[in-house]
Structure 1
Amino acid sequence: MLIIDAHVHIYPNFDLDRAIRKSVKNFIHCQHNGGKREDAIKIWMLTERSDCFFFQRAPDLELPDFSFEQADEEDALVVLDNATNEPLLYIVAGRQIISSDNLEVCALATTFYQQDKTLNTLETIRAVRSAGGLAAINWAPGKWFGARGKIVQKMFDAFDPAELFISDTTMRPTCWRTPIKMAAAQRRGFRLVTGSDPLPFAGEEDLIASYTFVTEGDFHQHKPVSSLRSILCAPQRTFAICGRRSGPLAFAKRQFKIMTEKKRSSC
Structure 2
Amino acid sequence: MTGTAPLGPGPLLVDAHVHIYPRFDRAAFLDAAAANVRRAAAARGLDPDTPGWLLLTETAADHAFAELAEQAATETGPGGWRLRPTGDPLCLLAHRDGQAPLGLLAGRQIVTEGGLEVLALGTGATFPDGGTLADALARVAAAGALAVLPWGFGKWLGARGARVRAAVARAAPGTLFLGDNGGRAGPRPRLLAEAEAAGRVVLPGSDPLPLPGQETRAGGFGFVLDAALDPDRPGASLKARLAALATSPPVYGRTTGALPFAGNQIRMQLRKHGISP
TM-score normalised by L of structure 1:
0.91
| Alpha-carbon shift at residue 115 of structure 1 (Å) | 1.2
Root mean square deviation, CA, Å: 2.1
Equivalent residue, structure 2, for 1:183: 193
| Structure having the larger proportion of residues in strand | 1
> What percentage of aligned pairs have identical amino acids?
30
1:158 aligns with 2:173: no
Kept after mapping to 2: 8 A contact 1:172/1:246: yes
Equivalent residue, structure 1, for 2:5: none
Count of aligned pairs between the two proteins: 261
Structure 1: which 4+ aligned runs deviate by more than 4 Å?
none
Q: Deviations over 1:12-39 (max 9, x none)?
A: 1111111111111101111221343474
| Alpha-carbon shift at residue 162 of structure 1 (Å) | 1.1
| Alpha-carbon shift at residue 237 of structure 1 (Å) | 5.7
What's the secondary structure of 1:256's corresponding residue?
Answer: helix
Given the alignment, which residue of 64, 67, 88 partners 1:73?
88
Equivalent residue, structure 1, for 2:6: none
1:20 aligns with 2:35: no
| Alpha-carbon shift at residue 265 of structure 1 (Å) | 6.2
Q: How does 1:31-46 map to 2 (within 5 A)?
A: 31-37=41-47, 39-46=49-56
What's the secondary structure of 1:44's corresponding residue?
Answer: strand
Given the alignment, which residue of 141, 144, 150 partners 2:153?
141
Equivalent residue, structure 2, for 1:108: 121
1:95 aligns with 2:108: yes
2: distance between equivalents of 1:89 and 1:138? 23
Gaps of 5+ in 2: 1-10, 72-76
What's the secondary structure of 1:264's corresponding residue?
Answer: coil
Equivalent residue, structure 1, for 2:79: 64
Amino acid at match of 1:67: R
1: distance between equivalents of 2:47 and 2:84? 28
1:120 aligns with 2:132: yes
Amino acid at match of 2:61: D
TM-score normalised by L of structure 2:
0.88
1: distance between equivalents of 2:79 and 2:190? 46
Kept after mapping to 2: 8 A contact 1:30/1:212: no
Equivalent residue, structure 2, for 1:129: 141
* Larger displacement relative to structure 2 (235-244 or 2-11): 235-244
* Larger displacement relative to structure 2 (155-164 or 239-248): 155-164
Gaps of 5+ in 1: none
